[in-house]
Structure formats: structure tokens, C-alpha cells
Structure 1
Amino acid sequence: MSQILITRPHGKGADLAEQLSQGGYQATLFPVLKIDYFTPDNTQLSPLLNADKIIFISQDAVKALLALKPDINIKAQFYAVGEQTAEAIWQAFGVRAAVPKQHDSEGLLALKSLQQIDGQNIVLVKGKDGRATIAKNLKQRGAFLNNLVVYQRGPVEGNATDWIDHWQSLDVKGIVITSNAAVDAIFRELGAKQLEWIRRCQFYVASARISEHLAAQQIDSANIHIAAGASDSAMFTCISEGNIMSEDTKPTSQLADTKATQSSSTKANAKVADSPSATKKDFAMNQKPNPTNKQKVSKTGSLALLISLIVAAGVGYQFYQKLNTQQQENLLVNQLSADNQLLSKELQAVKVAQQTLQQALFNSEQKVTAALAASEAETQQQLESALQRAEQQTYSLNPQEVTSLQRMAEFKLWAEKDYQGATAVLSRLDALLAEHPGTGAIRQAIHQDLQALSIVKSVPVEAIYLQLHGVLGQVDKLTFNAVALPQEVEQEEQHALSENVSDWQQNLANTWHQMMDGFIKIRQREDVAIEALLTEQERHLIKQRLSLYLSQAQDALLTKQASVYFTALNQASELVNDYFKQDDPQTQSVLKALAALNKESLNFNPEITLKSTEQVKEWAQ
């Protein structure tokens, strides 16, 4: 069996090895590369949110990005270089990716949807120093390209010279390579002997790009076989069509024919040498008497000669019978050998035909499967493109709607001083823009405006108004300052009646004076200064005036006139201090409430400039 070496990274060559084993090959897994994942920052990952197209160059790119759990625009068009990468995208993000028929950079760039990309945001998810051709061509076509490097391939620990010696001991005939990095890892610091041996091996590569990289290592192009992609089925088909045959895989009929030919030649020579006719002829020539040399023979000699002739004839006859039997056996053996050789050839021909038929059937199945997969991918791509066009037609962004929402936010801010309303309108505009790519600058400005509006502390108009209403309800309960009258001077009673009858005239005069005192009474006080008393009407007017100041403060609060508000509160506080009893709990409560209301910060006109206004104007133009 031919020994095939699979150099793919760890965990990626097991399925191919199993297919090769079932196909009659010996497969050895020998990873020469390791994968190191990177951790990009948020700035590098942010283009994924507004991307129009996202391209993945390998399964490792998909796995590395999935581990980062970034915010990604699922509505963007996804692309994969091969079928396995497309399947990994589906498993990771639930999105069907477009796959080219030719699984390499050139095949990807040939897709129709990547021809007209001027001004589109494209993110290329790749490994370090990989796929420079794709990046170069996309930039030339006018795309805004963001290279997102998420992993790096590097050689595993070990000396490449030791690898080659180990492979040579395994009698490796073919080597599977799926990246240029694997070529660089294998051909680093090799000696002359290792280079001489490895250049005789067959190489099975995933693309023409890798083939060119191998050719730079002075590998004969006849020893390089390009598969239809990096998938296991494509590699297996390429190896099967390569027809690697070792000495132990040659048909046994060839060896049998060679041995049979040699055996036939040997037996033919033996047959000629041991032929009975030749033996008898030689014997006769040796025993025939020479007529020219006639001599006299005695009777005893004749008898001895006769006996010798009889014995020789018996021995010759026995030898002839034995030789005849041996010839028949040899003929039978030769016939059986010929029949066996014929049967072996026919059996080998049947096996070759069966293998050819199986290979043809397998190739047909592979071609049918590949054709069906390509047709399905093309149909899926056309369907997604049509769906995307329909969505763009149905949900296209209306510039008038964006401009209208921005103007409404400005009106809420400047005319109505409604900061919460302005925040709600800007949030609605941000939600609308989030459904469409290419609006990142406007959304950033909107979020800055939302942050500025959130810092503004709104005036609690309703709470202050209710507090004023509560103070207004306590006005009627306030107690005016009481006037402290001086103590009356005690006077001796001058007009007391006497009990003596003779004093009737005096009693009559005293009675008259008492009657007069009932109508007019003059009291004398010790203190000289006496404050004037407020009439009931004046007290009523003072309370009405206090209520008016509090109502004026309420109106100023509703109309957002801070200066009028504070002036009315100050005048109300002066009235309470001047006319009402200071040690009364009701008065103290009112004064405390007025002082707290006077400390409120009524900033009705904070300076805020909407940065999103300029961005929307530029975008609309």
C-alpha cells in the first residue's frame, strides 16, 4: 500500500485519513502547523457592526471570530473560500455564505456580487500574512476594506530535518499540503539528502497558489497535483487520480508471468537434454559395431555380449518407460501452470475492471455531488441576493424621514424645552438607522447627544408647584402679631353710693355719674407709646397680598420665568416676617417652606448643541 502523509493542523485530517484507508492507502497524520488565536480590541471589531460584506478565508477564521463573541451585522452578505468554511459559518452564525466554484482566492474574486463594490464596507476575516491577493483586488475595486487578523499559523515544535528522516523511514510516497505556511514549515533548513528525497515525493495541494509556492522549492511540476479545493473529498479524488503504485501494489499476474516464463524455459532445456530419442541415438552410435574392424569373437564372448545386450535392452526399456512417464507428468504440470496463469490473468483483469468501475463510479458520485452542491450554492446565493435586493427595496432608508426626525428633536429641545421628548425622538432615529449599514457616523453623533441630554437635570416643576400650593393653603391659618396693651391704672371708686339716708342728694349725683360712665369710659395707662391696631379689613388685605405673591410664583414656574419666581418668594417672605407672629409654629413652617423653595435651581435654558444635526445634513446631501 502507498503511504500518504497528511500535514493539516491537529484535528483536521482524521476524515481524509479514514477515506484513504478505505481506498487501499496507508495514511499517516503528521501536523506541521499550529494555530494561535489573537484577541483584537473593540476598535478592530467595530467594522463588523456596519459591514456590507464579510469574507472568511478559512474554518480557523470562523472559529477564532466566534470565540470573541463580537457584535456582527447578520444582515450583511457572508462569503467563504470553501464548502467547509461555509458550513462552519452556518454552524457559528446561522447564515448561509456564498461559495465560489473554484475554492481559492481567484474563484472568490470572480463572484459577480464582488465585482461592483465601490464604496461598500467589507471586512476580511483572515490569518496573519494571508490572502494578500484578495485584499489587493478588493481595494482596487473601490471597497472600504478592513483586515481583521484573528489567528496565526506557525510550525510546530521540532526540526524539519528529523521530520524528513522519519517520513523516509515510513516510505512516504505522497504528501498532502493545504497552505503555504505548511510548505514553509517543511522546507526550512533541509539538507541535500532530505531535499533529494522529498523532491521525489508526490504533492497533493489545495490550490494553484500553493502549487506555485512549491515550485519555488524546485519541485517538479509533474509531482504536484492540484485538488479542487481543501475539502476531504477533493483531496481524496486528487490522490486517487494520481495513481501512486509501489512495488508491493503491482499486480501479482506480472510476477507470475515472469516466473512461469523462467520455469518454462528451464523445463524446455531439461526436456531437450533428457529426450529419449537423443539417448537411444547416442546409445546406438556407441554400441554399433564397426564393419571395417571385423575380428573373431569367441562363443564365450558372444554369450557375454548377448547377455549384455539383453541387460542393456532391459535397462533402456525401463529408462524409456520412466522417461516417458516423467514427460507426461511434465506436460501435465506445464498445462496446469498455463491454465493457472490464464486464470490468474483473467482474475487480475476482472479485479482491474472492478477497481476501474468502482473508481469511475466514485468519481461520478463525486462529480454529481459536487455539481449538486455547486448548483445548490448558486441557487442559494441567487435567492439570498434576490431577498437582499427585495429587502433593500422594501426597507430602503428614506432621507426625508431621517431629516424630519432630526428636526423634531431640535424643536423639542429649543422651542418646547422638552429634553425627555428630544431624547425619545433621537432614540427613535437611532433605532431606524441601526437597520441600515453605512450610518455609523450619524449614530455615533446621536449617542453623544443622548449622553449630553442625560446629564441635564430637569426642573421638578410639578413638585415645586405642589409645594407652593401647600404653602398657599396655610395662609389663612397664620396668626398676626398681637398688640400688648399697657396695664390700666387702678383708681379709687369716686361715685360709690352711701347707705346713709341723709346723703340722698349725694347718692343721686353719684348715680348720675355712674350712668354717664356706662356710656363713656376713660382709662389711664402707665406706658405712653401705644401701637396702632390693624383693622379687620387691613388684615384681610395682607393675607390676600401674601396669597397673590404665592400664586405669582406658581405662574412664573409654569411659564419658566425664574426671576419672577424668586422675586415673588422674597416678597412673600417679607410679609410673613413683618405681620405675623414669629414664634407661632404655623408661621415658622411657612417661613421654612419659603426658604427651601427659594433654594431651588431653576435652570430652564441649559446650553446644548446637537452634534447629530451636522451629520444628518452631510448625509442627506
Structure 2
Amino acid sequence: MTPLVVRAEPQAASLSQALLAAGHQPVTSPLLSFVEGAELERLPALLGGLSPRDYVIAVSVQAVHFADNALKQQGHGWPKANYIAVGDATGKAFARVDVPGAAIPEDPRSEGIISLPGLQQLTGRRVVILRGNGGRHLIAPTLMQRGALVDYCEVYRRCYYQDSSGTLVKNWQSQEVDSIIITSGGLLHHIVKLAADSARDWLLSRILIVPSIRVVQEARELGFTRVINADGASNQALIAALDERKWNDRQD
């Protein structure tokens, strides 16, 4: 198959190499990059006030990466607290910066985080949520209802590639892209935005590989009809979903 890879580097290159090894012909076109967030200077003060009873929640690998860099640059370390990672990759990112044992919910969505047993009774406890710009706003209101004192800290920003000329989509069409691998709702909405009206039907007819049921629902609302849930954003999960589709196509 000829899947389109749009996730940020270096993950895009890693996924593309794995796709090649699996017998696919990927088209690599990263649409997203990350830069430092607007609130990094606040981070040492926010984390410095935490006790071992409090919580730090990281919503992505980028959140851990940018937060750790900022702490090191300002001469600080990670405090003793309870850590929560959204997904296995984020948990591994915590371990790489010497924060082992982060709790990882089975459901890598906001709903999975707020269902963790330790977050049910939070009266008087503090929670710092490390995130990028935008995103969902379910975690903080729910935890505040349970008595927590919650602070968001924007430690990184998402920057989406813009293409007013429509050249990107034309290139994808000329390279006969037959499937698209999407790893977030933000990327899904951005790629639809990039497609001009003349290319919208082409885009919506591609096979779409997504990481979760939430993104499946968003894709269907946007008009995609051939959507496969990979149940994860790892290379292994994404390629397994694409290979399953390739095998099924051969059987039709």
C-alpha cells in the first residue's frame, strides 16, 4: 500500500522506515512540529510547590521532553510526587528522564485519566497538567470537582504546516496515496482543512488508520467512511492495522 505519513519528526521518519520494512511504499509529509510553550518559565515554581501527595500529569511525550529540558536549563529537577502518563510512550519518556513508575491508564484519553483510582478523592491536593496549546478540557474541571487545586502549564506548542496553494494534496494524489495514517484529532482536522473542495472527495475516500475510538468518531463525523482503529499510536499498532486492511483487500 501507499500510506501517507503526516506525524511530526522524528516519529514520521521512524514510522516510514518501519512501513518500508513491512513492504509498504510510504509518502512522508510531516504536517506538525513542536516548539517551546509560553508557560515554561512558570514550571519550576509550579512543580516546586508540590508534595508527595500531589500529582503531575503529562499528556504526551512532547510534554515530558519540553518540561525536562526547561527544568534542566533552570537548574531544577522533577519533584517527589505522583506521576501520570497518557499512554505507554509518555510513560517511557518519563522513565528516560529518571521519573520511573508513572501510572498509565488503559484508556489513553481524558476519560481514562479521570477514572484512575488515585484521582477519585483529591480534597486539598494539587495537580499540575503538562500540555500543549489547545486540546480537550475535561481533566481539570473533573478533578476540581473532586477537590483538587489544578494548574495547567503549556510547555509546548503545536505548529501545523500551512499550504494555501493546495500543492501538498496534489502531490499526494500524483503519488497515488491510498491510505492515511493519522495519530491525533488535531492532525485529522488539519488535513481536512488542507484539502480544497476539489480534493475533498478524494481525501475522504482514502483508507484512514487512527489511534483511538475517539478519532474514529471524529473521522466519521468529517465524512470518512473507511476508518480503522489501530488501538494505539505506536509503529507496531499502526502497521498491524494497515497490514490487516491490505490482507482483507486481497481476500475481496
Equivalent position amino acid for 2:143 in 1: L
Q: Which has the higher helix share?
A: 1
Unaligned runs of 5+ in 2: none
Q: Which has the larger radius of gyration?
A: 1
In the alignment, the residues of structure 2 paired with residue 85 and residue 146 of structure 1 have an alpha-carbon distance, to the nearest angstrom, of: 20
Aligned to 1:168: 173
Aligned to 1:17: 16
Aligned to 1:29: 28
In the alignment, the residues of structure 2 paired with residue 244 and residue 16 of structure 1 have an alpha-carbon distance, to the nearest angstrom, of: 20
> After the TM superposition, which residues 207-226 of structure 1 pair with which residues of structure 2 at under 5 Å, given as runs?
207-220=212-225, 223-226=226-229
Aligned to 1:497: none
**Does the Cα contact within 8 Å between 2:40 and 2:67 map onto a contact in 1?**
no
Equivalent position amino acid for 1:194 in 2: A
Aligned to 1:187: 192
In the alignment, the residues of structure 2 paired with residue 76 and residue 217 of structure 1 have an alpha-carbon distance, to the nearest angstrom, of: 40
Task: Give 1:61 deviation, angstroms.
Answer: 0.7
- Aligned mate of 1:81, from 83, 86, 105: 86
- Aligned mate of 2:64, from 18, 43, 62: 62
> After the TM superposition, which residues 31-180 of structure 1 pair with which residues of structure 2 at under 5 Å, given as runs?
31-40=30-39, 42-43=41-42, 45-51=44-50, 52-69=54-71, 71-159=76-164, 161-180=166-185
Equivalent position amino acid for 1:12 in 2: Q
> After the TM superposition, which residues 287-326 of structure 1 pair with which residues of structure 2 at under 5 Å, given as runs?
none
Aligned to 2:243: 240
Q: Return the TM-score normalized by structure 2.
A: 0.87
Task: Give 1:129 deviation, angstroms.
Answer: 0.9
Cα 1:205–1:41 change in 2 (3 A) is closer
Unaligned runs of 5+ in 1: 252-621
In the alignment, the residues of structure 2 paired with residue 124 and residue 196 of structure 1 have an alpha-carbon distance, to the nearest angstrom, of: 39
Give deviations 1:464-520, integer Å, cap 9, x for gaps.
xxxxxxxxxxxxxxxxxxxxxxxxxxxxxxxxxxxxxxxxxxxxxxxxxxxxxxxxx
User: Superposition RMSD on alpha carbons, in Å?
Assistant: 2.3
**Does the Cα contact within 8 Å between 2:37 and 2:155 map onto a contact in 1?**
yes
**Does the Cα contact within 8 Å between 1:120 and 1:143 map onto a contact in 2?**
yes
**Does the Cα contact within 8 Å between 2:230 and 2:238 map onto a contact in 1?**
yes
Task: Give 1:43 deviation, angstroms.
Answer: 4.3
**Does the Cα contact within 8 Å between 1:56 and 1:62 map onto a contact in 2?**
yes
Give deviations 1:201-228, integer Å, cap 9, x for gaps.
01111222322332332222xx111222
Give deviations 1:378-428, integer Å, cap 9, x for gaps.
xxxxxxxxxxxxxxxxxxxxxxxxxxxxxxxxxxxxxxxxxxxxxxxxxxx
Percent identical: 27
In the alignment, the residues of structure 2 paired with residue 43 and residue 23 of structure 1 have an alpha-carbon distance, to the nearest angstrom, of: 44
Give deviations 1:297-341, integer Å, cap 9, x for gaps.
xxxxxxxxxxxxxxxxxxxxxxxxxxxxxxxxxxxxxxxxxxxxx
DSSP-derived class of the 2:178 partner: strand
- Equivalenced residues, count: 246
State whether structure 2 residue 231 is matched by structure 1 residue 228.
Answer: yes
Q: Which has the higher strand share?
A: 2
Task: Give 1:50 deviation, angstroms.
Answer: 2.5
Task: Give 1:244 deviation, angstroms.
Answer: 6.3
Equivalent position amino acid for 2:169 in 1: I
**Does the Cα contact within 8 Å between 1:55 and 1:125 map onto a contact in 2?**
yes
In the alignment, the residues of structure 1 paired with residue 149 and residue 214 of structure 2 have an alpha-carbon distance, to the nearest angstrom, of: 25
**Does the Cα contact within 8 Å between 1:82 and 1:230 map onto a contact in 2?**
no
Give deviations 1:506-550, integer Å, cap 9, x for gaps.
xxxxxxxxxxxxxxxxxxxxxxxxxxxxxxxxxxxxxxxxxxxxx
Cα 1:94–1:73 change in 2 (3 A) is closer
> After the TM superposition, which residues 567-582 of structure 1 pair with which residues of structure 2 at under 5 Å, given as runs?
none
